[in-house]
Structure 1
């Protein structure tokens, strides 16, 4: 992508501060918010920035962006993915739900389900599902990660190993062209691997932004996933691999 001078200034500001907002950019560049939104959209399409509510952040291959900002990313897509996933979960199921903003969206869609047992290492999900009187919630204890309410570490992994559930529903920070599921925190990844190992079926929930994000730690592969709920169009190569692996792609 060939940048205009204004887009170059936007990118330079993002590199300096890690985050830009539409209002601040419109003020500092003396342009309309519509112009800024258009520039941010083009920079995001080029993979140079990631859109968040009210602005954009730098994509990172080493460190995840803030949890609050991740909640604002692709909110409508996450809600649609969550609805489709929840529809595939029958009443009376036992589930794992791991850390993530999309799995939190799934939890919200499960509030009308009955007879569920949910094991989670996500305090936010536990609090959401506490509103469902027909759901038995089990929190896998461990070290609290204050930034996102996640519980990680050896204690969490050990506790997950005591269960065998019907369906694991996981998110990931990235998905590469080979079908590898990626994340940032090795301790969180160990928990996610154990979740996949202790489930009879595994569902992945991930929106299109995960296809352009790199992360340094491998959780596993789409070959381990029974259903992949996404709003993205997968490339032909990955579609063919999913067919070979028996991974069903559910596009919303």
Structure 2
């Protein structure tokens, strides 16, 4: 399991935010040697978290997400805090959509003590986990199964989801742009998440701070379509204005 120290986490978030950062600039900022920064970059590049270049590091391509096994451990403590905060607001006897993503999988884990849940998901990891919870009914969408993360997507998935209207749609996302646009990498996954948002009375987005201003190819929607954003750090003044304009509630997990 990959465990990042705080400097490596901050370095990765910086590169994701800026797009490219030079080794010299990172070494000065963190008050460490160039060799230390290069070792950090090499480690992160080996786990496909960023792209290594001579003299610096950049974000990965906007057309491909970080590998699933790396995302399982990336920002894991932040994801768990977000999951606990979100789960604490879900009442017993609620109906839920839960979509693909490692953050939503942490939400599923945090719901283990709830009773009377009715869960619809296109995520096999979540289905396998929650089917063992007492008094929890799990419905699994059909569709094409992706090898890389055991996610179900495609027209059959969308059609299945559109049969239901649930209390809460719990979604993750790959990118939140500074103007509030939500983006992801796979257009089939985007279509599924859009259906979830349309068929949910409340849409709750779980996203750690590294998701802000990452590059991703496909437009999913806008924060104004989200009722609540659960994250792990206070947002910028500009983002706070976007949330206020869209009447989106902000929850910063302690």
Normalised TM-score (structure 2)? 0.80
Partner of 2:90: 89
Partner of 1:131: 132
Matched, 1:3 2:27: no
Q: Which moved more, 1:159-168 or 1:233-242?
A: 233-242
Q: Distance in 2 between matches of 1:139 and 1:100?
A: 15
Alignment of 1:152-167 (within 5 A): 152-167=153-168
CA drift at 1:172: 0.3
Matched, 1:236 2:237: yes
Partner of 1:185: 186
Alignment of 1:206-245 (within 5 A): 206-245=207-246
Q: Distance in 1 between matches of 2:201 and 2:117?
A: 16
Of structures 1 and 2, the one scoring higher in RCO (CA 8 A, sep 6+) is: 2
Is the CA contact 1:83–1:106 (under 8 Å) kept in the aligned structure 2? yes
Matched, 1:19 2:46: yes
CA drift at 1:2: 4.7
Q: Distance in 2 between matches of 1:250 and 1:8?
A: 33
> What CA deviation, in whole Å up to 9, does each residue of 1:98-125 have, x standing for no partner?
0000000000011110011000000000
> What CA deviation, in whole Å up to 9, does each residue of 1:187-231 have, x standing for no partner?
000000000000000000000110142101111111011110001
Distance 1:215 1:136, change over 3 A: same
Matched, 1:201 2:228: no
Task: Please report the RMSD computed on the Cα atoms of aligned residues, expressed in angstroms.
Answer: 2.3
Gaps of 5+ in 1: 22-39, 50-57
- Could you say what secondary structure the match of 1:181 adopts? strand
Q: Distance in 2 between matches of 1:12 and 1:134?
A: 46
Q: Distance in 2 between matches of 1:67 and 1:20?
A: 10
Normalised TM-score (structure 1)? 0.81
Partner of 1:170: 171
Distance 1:109 1:119, change over 3 A: same
CA drift at 1:130: 1.2
CA drift at 1:6: 2.7
Q: Distance in 1 between matches of 2:189 and 2:170?
A: 15
Q: Distance in 2 between matches of 1:160 and 1:76?
A: 30
Q: Distance in 2 between matches of 1:214 and 1:70?
A: 16
Is the CA contact 1:48–1:59 (under 8 Å) kept in the aligned structure 2? no
- Structure 1 stretches of 4+ with a deviation exceeding 4 A read 7-15
- Could you say what secondary structure the match of 2:212 adopts? helix
Is the CA contact 1:102–1:171 (under 8 Å) kept in the aligned structure 2? yes
Q: How many residues align?
A: 219
Is the CA contact 1:118–1:138 (under 8 Å) kept in the aligned structure 2? yes
Matched, 1:104 2:105: yes
Distance 1:14 1:243, change over 3 A: same
Is the CA contact 1:59–1:213 (under 8 Å) kept in the aligned structure 2? no
Partner of 2:13: none
Alignment of 1:51-62 (within 5 A): 59-62=60-63
